[in-house]
Chains A and B, each alone.
Chain A
Amino acid sequence: QQPVQSPQAVILREGEDAVINCSSSKALYSVHWYRQKHGEAPVFLMILLKGGEQKGHEKISASFNEKKQQSSLYLTASQLSYSGTYFCGSQAPGNQFYFGTGTSLTVIP
């Protein structure tokens, strides 16, 4: 059930860009993205509700391809504060909610 994310880990220098991918074997009706800092709970970033929809949050944006059952998170001009683990998430029938396998992002000066 768990969506698969890639890459598993990425290291960036400040100012560089990154793309995190989320892929599911089951239909995605919506996709959530969360970021988790070490020792803290995940924090919501954005929801994508429609196929092909793109949403933005400061320099972090995302796309959702419902047909391909994929979503991508784009981080541009990365900052030190972007470091953390990123999770996609998706609702399944019956209000189950599953998270992806996670991507660890480290931004270095």
Chain B
Amino acid sequence: NAGVTQTPKFQVLKTGQSMTLQCAQDMNHNSMYWYRQDPGMGLRLIYYSASEGTTDKGEVPNGYNVSRLNKREFSLRLESAAPSQTSVYFCASRNPAGPSNEKLFFGSGTQLSVL
């Protein structure tokens, strides 16, 4: 019963470096999300995927790309990291068509620092 697995937990990058945050869920959920959380800013939606094969921009997509590789996996890529992307990143999944408008399940988060 892993739920949502997110890797890595911590990462330090230099400005201009690239990296991919990985997220996988084993609950057969259709929808997956990437959020970033900055102090005092709450959780802001970066990208989401309503179902396998689709991805869409959220509130703050600039500087990021995503891939919904299959139903289980949804990755977030920073092509050229900037200090403004220093944040805590959360992946989440849910089944919005579920009987009770299903809740979000979260990964444990990735603390990313860009120097």
Contact = CB atoms under 8 A, between A and B. Distances in A.
A64 interface: no
Contacts of B104: 32, 34, 42, 44, 89, 97
Interface in A44-101: 44, 47, 49, 87, 89, 91, 94-101
A41 B101 contact: no
A72 B106 CA distance: 23
Interface string A3-47: 000000000000000000000000000101010000011101001
Contacts, number: 63
Contacts of B14: none
Contact of A47 (B33, B44, B100): B100
A17 B8 CA distance: 39
A75 B41 CA distance: 23
A25 to B, nearest CB: 14
Contacts of A1: 45, 59
B7 to A, nearest CB: 14
Given A41-B90, A44-B104, A101 B42 contact: yes
Nearest to B91: A41
A98 B42 CA distance: 10
Nearest to B103: A44
A2 interface: yes
B106 to A, nearest CB: 4
Interface in B60-93: 90, 92
A13 to B, nearest CB: 24
B106 A42 contact: yes
Given A47-B100, A47-B101, A97-B33, A2 B59 contact: yes
Nearest to A91: B96
B101 A91 contact: yes
Interface of A: 1-2, 30, 32, 34, 40-42, 44, 47, 49, 87, 89, 91, 94-102
Nearest 7 CB-CB pairs, A to B? Answer: A41-B106, A95-B50, A44-B103, A102-B42, A99-B43, A101-B42, A30-B101
